[in-house]
Amino acid sequence: MIRMGVVGYGYWGPNLVRNFTACADTTVVAVCDSRDAQLNKMSALYPSVKACKEYSCLLEDPSIDAIAIATAVDSHFALALQAIEAGKHIWVEKPFTATVDQGRKLLDEAAKRKLVVHVDHTFLYTAAVRKIRELVESGSLGELYYFDSVRVNLGLFQHDVNVLWDLAVHDLAIMEYILGCSPVEISATGASHVQGQPEDVANMTCFFERGLMAHFHVNWLAPVKIRQTLIGGSKKMIVYDDIVASEKVKVYDKGISVKTTDDIYKLLVQYRSGDVWIPALATTEALLAEAAHFADCVEHGAKPVSGGESGLNVVKILEAATKSLKLRGSPVKIG
């Protein structure tokens, strides 16, 4: 049984506490938040969980094995470093850190102490995303051509990060997990429509060493909520729609074949349109599965699916995208 401390009981913290409580392999010992109102809400639901306003109460409690950090991005590094120095495994809300250097520092410090670093990329634990990865790894899609993602809605505006760091972070983690490789260059454009606030609409393109490319459109100002990803291959194509209650993944036996000749004007492109397959998916809550996976990693010293390296790779892309935004879309290489 892994005994958890949770810091931050705002938007995401309640979901963590609920799932750590429901998971057979974890339990919540204490929750820390600076706001009395939030702690009162937590105590009403979980009277046996200790409520505290000072982070030190989690760090100094020898019964706590791991600390989950669900606070603003700019606080992740300091809180995570203190937890590591106190000998605690860490679970960090996405994005992992505000900079690449911070992420590398945390990984180095955790490695010295043989502590688990887990980044909360929850979508990697959904049955839909896992099925898509399975299909890609099997080679049934053929050569991959593109990864195209749209994630838009009206709000929730963030004040500490732009829309790429808030929304695209989900799909970047999914992309890395499914494709199993990282881009080498990033181009991003965006705009802010609220004075003094970060970009609320943005487009980002990721370029890979081979012909594969990925595109992301994110928007806090859309009149509808869309969570859709298209993955195209030479043999089959996938549509992943996270909004629908069922049939989230559809596999299309569609594509093209090109017949080449010596005469470029006689180039023949033929279209193939076959069946549509909808795989059955498990309905287990992703966050509950993620909690069990984290507990197993802590127990056996294994690396999580969404470990620190995964979180750092996403931050590398976002950092490059931020630089490209300032250059109005000029490509930036990932270091």
Q: Is the pLDDT of residue 262 over 80?
A: no
Dihedral of CA atoms 293, 296, 298, 304 in degrees, nearest 10, equals: -40
Average pLDDT of the segment spanning 52-80 = 97
Q: Of 61, 59, 65, which Cα lies nearest the Cα of 20?
A: 65
How much is the mean pLDDT over the chain? 95
The H-or-E segment that residue 52 falls in is: strand 50-52
- What gap in Å lies between CA 75 and CA 319, rounded to an integer? 17
Over range 238-253, report the average pLDDT. Answer: 95
pLDDT reported for residue 157: 82
- Report d(CA 81, CA 131) in Å as an integer: 35
How many Å apart are CA 271 and CA 132, to the nearest integer?
A: 24
Rounded (5°) CA angle 257-258-264: 165
Domains of the chain are 2-115 (3.40.50.720), 124-282+316-333 (3.30.360.10)
Residue 259, pLDDT above cutoff 70: no
The stretch 170-192 carries a mean pLDDT of: 97
Instruction: Please state the pTM of the whole predicted model.
Output: 0.93
